[in-house]
Chains A and B, each alone.
Chain A
Amino acid sequence: MNVNGHPLPPPDLSHFNENRNKFPADELRKYVGKHIAWSPDGTRILASGDSMDEVEENLIAAGIAPSQVVGSYVPEADAIML
């Protein structure tokens, strides 16, 4: 999505990190194993899907530019990073 042929400028993420950590863990658990799109202020999950492409399709269907969200993945609940 763009405006008059120009891409939208990247969103302001200055408060993303602090707000996302206030998001209820129980709510986030519903998205385990899913790709998700966060609102740029970190307060809401705007779309989800089994792949990045599916998330973008859902965003576009909802009229939201994929460049204006934060893409993420909710790992399996017992995953350990090495």
Chain B
Amino acid sequence: MGLTFRYKLEPVAHPILSLGGRWVRPRPIVAVTLIGPADSRPHDALLDTGGDETIFPDKLASKIGIDLANAPAGQIHRIGAAVIDVRYAEVTLRLADNNERREWNAWIAFARQKLPYSVLGFAGCLQFFTSTFHGDREEVTLEVNSLYPGR
């Protein structure tokens, strides 16, 4: 059956011409829980099939007990935007709807710069699911695939 999430409806200041004059913009944003050695933090993140990595703000790392001082470093280049400096760490991610709960370990990029959204991208998240984005129903379903490492 899989996890099903309705798109989050975000208010806008003007009617959206390309969406027939709607006053909200539907986005596949879900609440995901980051579980670390000391604590956990549920946080919104955008399911992004175009995203290579799963990225959260580095402030979340310290809040769940992860020290990034000696963590592997990297840079993420966004098309047409500034480079993002990141540190990688392994955390547990949890997604749940009212029928199912999934929890798995993944390497996450923690970004020093402010991001408009945290991102659930291919590495660490979407690689483990068959994801279907239902544009008509404005919902996304995630079904675990053969690579899913969790429980």
> Chain B: how many interface residues by the 8 Å CB criterion?
38
B46 CB-CB contact with A under 8 Å: yes
> Chain A: how many interface residues by the 8 Å CB criterion?
39
A71 CB-CB contact with B under 8 Å: yes
A15 CB-CB contact with B under 8 Å: yes
- Of the listed stretches B37-45, B104-112, B122-130, chain A binds B37-45
> Which listed residue (A69, A70, A74) contacts B10, Cβ 8 A?
A74
Instruction: Look across to chain A and name the residue whose beta carbon is closest to the beta carbon of B39.
Output: A7
CB contacts (< 8 Å) of A79 on chain B: these are 116
Q: Are B6 and A17 in contact (CB under 8 A)?
A: yes
Taken together as a complex, chains A and B put the C-alpha atoms of A14 and B99 apart, in Å, by 8
A47: min CB distance to chain B, Å: 14
Q: Are B42 and A10 in contact (CB under 8 A)?
A: yes
Binary interface encoding of chain B residues 90-111 relative to chain A, with 1 for a CB under 8 A from any of its CBs, else 0: 0000101111010000000000
Binary interface encoding of chain B residues 35-77 relative to chain A, with 1 for a CB under 8 A from any of its CBs, else 0: 1001111111010000000000101100100000000000000
> Which listed residue (A28, A72, A77) contacts B13, Cβ 8 A?
A77
Give B8-40 interface residues, CB cut-off 8 Å to A.
Answer: 8-14, 23-24, 27, 30-31, 33, 35, 38-40
Q: Are A78 and B13 in contact (CB under 8 A)?
A: yes
Q: How many A-B residue pairs have CB under 8 A?
A: 92
Residues of B near any A CB (own CB < 8 A): 5-6, 8-14, 23-24, 27, 30-31, 33, 35, 38-44, 46, 57, 59-60, 63, 79-80, 94, 96-99, 101, 116-117
Residues of A near any B CB (own CB < 8 A): 2, 7-18, 20-21, 25-26, 28-29, 32, 38, 40, 52-53, 56, 66-67, 69-75, 77-79, 81-82
Q: What are 14 pairs between A and B in contact, CB < 8 Å? A: A2-B39, A13-B33, A14-B96, A14-B97, A17-B6, A17-B30, A25-B23, A28-B10, A71-B60, A75-B117, A78-B13, A81-B27, A81-B46, A82-B79
Instruction: Apart from A20-B8, A40-B42, A78-B13, list 17 A-B contacts with CB within 8 A.
Output: A10-B35, A10-B94, A14-B97, A21-B9, A25-B23, A29-B11, A32-B11, A66-B41, A67-B40, A71-B42, A71-B43, A71-B44, A75-B117, A77-B11, A78-B12, A81-B116, A81-B117
